[in-house]
Each structure stands twice: as structure tokens, then as C-alpha cells.
Amino acid sequence: MTNSKIIALFLIPLALLGCSSTTEQSLYDEIGGHKTLETVYGVAVTRIYTHPDIGHYFKGVPKRHLRDQLVTQTCELIGGPCEYDGKSMLESHQGLDIKEREFYILVEIVQGAMRDVGLTYQQENRILQKLAPIKYETINL
Ligand code: HEM
């Protein structure tokens, strides 16, 4: 076997390995990372706090704190480099007696904020899918 054939035998598998190890972009990176999440939840939290039906729940809850916790939690859920270490969902919603209808009002506000910030319909839905299971840790408690 010639030297060039031997080199080719080593290089082809290496090149293929390189192809297969290209990392897929996370949803977090795809939407523009932390900056986008901060804008989305900045907009959403303002609307939540002033909403006639659910605003009252948030009296006395520091706005900035809630925004930052939501950003970190969603960042973690969509593959970002964050670790949510705030209160558990059960712990923070227990005793509030939040109704299912009120849960959907909040989700719609978050969805509207994502749309206004320029996320695609598909990106919106992928994020909402991650938030959906939290429903049962927030309502009727
Ligand atoms: C997908 C839905 C929801 C998510 C992802 C979510 C997430 C969170 C997070 C991350 C916190 C901060 C916990 C901490 O301080 O460490 C929080 C607190 C809170 N949430 Fe939610 N939540 C949801 C639904 C709701 C709904 C529907 C309401 C009321 C209508 C609500 C009312 C509150 C209140 C009042 C607090 C502050 C509790 C406190 O500090 O004592 N949440 N939520």
C-alpha cells in the first residue's frame, strides 16, 4: 500500500467522526440566549403584574426577582447553561389557590410576549411545551 493510501485510510474515518460530532444548537441558543429570555420575561412580568385578573397574586413579590427566576428556569428547560435553584414550583404556589383559568391567562401573556419579541410560532410552542407540565404544580393548591 502506498503512503498516500495509508494516510487516506486514517483521514477518512477521522473526517466522518468530525461530521457526526457536530453539536446541535439548543433552543436556548436558537432564540438568542439570555438576552432574549430577559426581554421576553421583562415584557411578560410587566403585563402579569398589571393584569386585572391575576395581578393581585403578585402584590409584594419583587418584580426583578420573579423575572430573573423565570429566565433561569426557562433557560435550564430549553438547554441553556443555567441551573434553576429557586423555590420548587409546589413551594412557591402552594396556598395561592390559583385556578386553571388563571394559569392559562399567565401562559397567554408569556406567549404574547414571545411573539412581540419576535420568536417564531414554532419556537413559542417548543417553549410552552416545556412549561406545560408545571401547570399541576401551580393550580388548585
Ligand atoms: C407555567 C406557569 C408558571 C411558571 C413557570 C411559574 C414560575 C414561577 C417561578 C420560577 C417563581 C419564582 C420562585 C422563587 O421565588 O424562587 C414563581 C413564583 C410565583 N408565581 Fe409562578 N409560575 C407559573 C404560574 C403561575 C400562575 C398561573 C400564577 C398566578 C396566577 C403564579 C403566581 C406566582 C406567585 C404569586 C409567585 C411568588 C411566590 C412567592 O414569592 O411567595 N405563578 N412562579
The predicted pLDDT at position 23 comes to 74
Pick 6 or 116 by higher pLDDT: 116
Pick the CATH number of 24-137 from 1.10.579.10, 1.10.3210.10, 3.30.360.10, 1.10.490.10: 1.10.490.10
Check pocket membership of 103 for ligand 1, CB cut-off 6 A: yes
Residue 139 is given by DSSP the state B
pLDDT at 21 over 60: no
Residue 135 CA, ligand 1 centroid: distance in Å: 10
pLDDT at 14 over 50: no
Taking the CA of residue 65 as reference, the ligand 1 atom at the shortest distance is: 15
pLDDT at 12 over 70: no
pLDDT at 8 over 60: no
Q: Across residues 87-110, what is the average pLDDT?
A: 98
Rounded distance, CA 111 to CA 43, Å?
11
| pTM of the model as a whole | 0.87
Percent of the chain with pLDDT over 70: 84
Q: Across residues 57-74, what is the average pLDDT?
A: 98
Residue 136 CA, ligand 1 centroid: distance in Å: 12
Rounded distance, CA 105 to CA 98, Å?
11
Rounded distance, CA 15 to CA 78, Å?
30
Check pocket membership of 74 for ligand 1, CB cut-off 6 A: no
Rounded distance, CA 114 to CA 109, Å?
9
Produce one character per residue of 81-109: b if its CB has 16 or more CB atoms within 10 Å, e if not: ebebeeeebeebbeeeebeeebbebbbeb
pLDDT at 46 over 70: yes
Which residues, 6+ apart, have CB-to-CB distance to 49 below 8 Å? 55, 58, 63
**Is there a contact between 89 and 139 (Cβ–Cβ < 8 Å)?**
no
* Mean pLDDT of the chain, nearest integer: 91
Phi-psi bin for 99: left (phi > 0), alpha (psi -120 to 50), beta? beta
Rounded distance, CA 69 to CA 55, Å?
18
pLDDT at 4 over 90: no
Percent of the chain with pLDDT over 90: 83
The predicted pLDDT at position 85 comes to 97
> Coil, strand, or helix at residue 35?
helix
Q: Across residues 115-123, what is the average pLDDT?
A: 98
Q: Across residues 58-72, what is the average pLDDT?
A: 98
